[in-house]
A = this chain, B = another copy of it.
Amino acid sequence: MNILYIMFDQLRFDYLSCAGHPHLQTPHIDALAARGMRFTRAYVQSPTCGSSRMSSYTGRYPSSHGVQFNSYPLRVGEWTMGDHLRKAGMGCHLIGKTHMVADADGMQRLGLAPDSVIGVRQSECGFDPWIRDDGLWAEGPDGFYDSKRSPYNEYLKDKGYPGENPWNDFANAGIEGDDIASGWFMVNADKPANIAEEDSETPWLTTQAMEFIEQAEGPWCAHLSYIKPHWPYIVPAPYHDMYGAEHVLPVVRSDAEREDAHPVFNGMMNNQIGKTFSRDEVRAKVIPAYMGLIKQADDQMGRLFNWLEKTGRMQDTMIVVTSDHGDYLGDHWLGEKNLFHEPSIKVPLIIYDPRREADATRGTACDELVEAIDLLPTFLEVAGGEPASHILEGRSLMPFLRGETPDWRDYAIAEFDYSTMPLCEKLGLEPKDARLFMVTDKRWKFMHAEGGLRPMLFDMENDPDELVDLAKADGHQEVIDMMYDRLLEWGLRMSQRITLSDAQIKARRGTSGRKGILLGVYEADELAPALTEKYRGPVPK
């Protein structure tokens, strides 16, 4: 068995036809859902790329692995998906984006050469990179946001696209007269990207995946990790004008949200992103482009799945389709992600398992509270590895795929660290206090804010759109207390005893006595003679 672990970036849970979108048809992803299981309550552990991904790749909460925001280096030695799977005999490969930043200081302290096999794995989040491209070749007066090489830019240059950064000038820009019409400016989102469709990012990476799979010797896990539909919001023809104003869903927001808003929510509604996405013309430009990007992604899934079918891989490969977080798209007066409303923190999750044991659940949906950190334990079970519950904080989803009804978690957790955002300073907080925690069950969603700020609370049953923050007023104290009890339980979890498994702990019990550690013994004859042999007898001469 192999695993094809497909991640899109910033794909909202509800922008697929199988998840109920009325205008956006995604037949290929839907078909995978029809052959697999769709999880309707899949939460990522942070509403931002880097942190969410490090949780998915380590199987641990952000507070456990320490990467609480984008571009925080992942500490050297942290166990990753690659470490766990390789130990179980399965290769683990990267095709696309991780948003991982290596712990260069830590590597240097341990003398790890960045170009050694071990050094590369430490730098690449444990993956063996077939190709890595994080897909954000932004450039400003202080240089590139990302100083690594871009295989995608190299590909475009090889194909004859001119200039230093064709990702920027062609793949993510339209054209207006002789000038580029950059996708960085959302006014241009309705223009076609100035690139042949087959050269754009999603088809390019799909081809890379097929090239990898063609030569791969199993068992392998391949993380096929697309940058799109992440911004810049722009897509080549014919996808740029497939959708129009009539396909844009009504915005989900209310004036009441702006009254007495939680200080963090308020700050985000009133920053540049929130203000821009609250404008109707912005949504009218961006959402059709976003839908076009997803439509293109679905077509590429069709291309990929057909090829897998033809090559026989569909029969021996588990396929996962998910995302690293969603996109507010103007809902709740917000753009981007960074808070815990469903459009931001919930993701699509489809798992197709070709094995007979999953036959009973094909085409069904699972409504249990699933976390992105459950994927790695799932993969480890597929690979036949020992569960590593002393390191991994999620749980295998295989029981659901087999149609079992395991005793499952009562709540899901997510975290967000906004200490690098100007908002932290505006609120007068120290970095350690600029942290948010979500606790959600099927009925209530709760947010705790450090730094002495009040919590937020939504009734997901009676207010599924999360428009009424119940923590603004008194009341619901019992629910809030319950959520704080859960947060305490979670906060005291054992997350760092990573060097000893539970089995090793149990095996240690009572062993020290047989190695001579005698505690509370007054006289030798209290113990079996074998245990005290070294402590009796004549004085050596």
Contact = CB atoms under 8 A, between A and B. Distances in A.
A219 to B, nearest CB: 20
B142 A520 contact: no
Contact of A112 (B105, B110, B169, B182): B110
Interface stretch (A16-24, A209-217, A397-405, A416-424): A416-424
7 contacts: A63-B495, A74-B499, A111-B112, A139-B516, A170-B539, A178-B538, A184-B521
A45 interface: no
Contacts of A541: 162
A180 interface: yes
Interface string A419-455: 1111011000011100101000000000010100000
A425 B141 contact: no
Specify how many copies of this chain sit in the oligomer.
2
Contact of A505 (B141, B431, B521): B431
Contacts of A139: 515-516, 534
A487 B494 CA distance: 14
A505 B70 CA distance: 11
A308 to B, nearest CB: 32
Contacts of A279: 522
A140 B77 contact: no
A110 B76 contact: yes
A276 B539 contact: no
A477 interface: no
Contacts of A231: 519
A32 B118 CA distance: 49
Given A72-B497, A118-B110, A484 B488 contact: yes
A196 to B, nearest CB: 15
Interface string A256-288: 000000000000000111111101011000000
Contacts of A63: 492, 494-496
A506 interface: yes
A115 to B, nearest CB: 13
Interface string A230-252: 01000000000000000000000
A505 B72 CA distance: 9
Given A185-B522, A500-B72, A540-B162, A514 B277 contact: no
Contact of A109 (B77, B109, B450, B519): B77
A159 interface: no
Nearest to A518: B184
Contacts of A406: none
Contacts of A336: 519-520
Contacts of A435: 492, 494
Contacts of A185: 518, 521-524, 532, 535
A419 B75 contact: no
Interface in A161-183: 161-166, 168-170, 173, 175, 178-180, 182
